[in-house]
Amino acid sequence: MSDPSILPIRPDLRAFFTHCEGLLSKVLQPDHAPFSQDELQMICYYVNELAKIADAQRLHSNGKPAMR
């Protein structure tokens, strides 16, 4: 991904990306506990909802279905 510090990103999204980066780095550590079933369900829910919004906005902006 591009360096987000040079992109015009809204503060709430910048905070979201920072938290995501932190989580991604933590789960790669060998002593990280696996996610619980509830945590996995919440992760999947929010990832899917954000993906739907992103796909809809891409479709709206260029008139073509979003590639996955």
Domain boundaries in the chain? 33-68
Query: What is the pTM assigned to this prediction?
Result: 0.70
Q: State residue 61's pLDDT score.
A: 81
Mean per-residue pLDDT for 37-60? 95
Identity of residue 48 = N
In sequence order, what are the residues at sequence separation of 6 or more whose Cβ sits closer than 8 angstroms to the Cβ of residue 59? 65, 66
d(CA 4, CA 9): 7
Q: Would you say the C-alpha torsion 55, 61, 64, 67 has a positive or negative sign?
A: negative
Look at 17 and 3; give whichever has higher pLDDT. 17
Q: State residue 6's pLDDT score.
A: 78
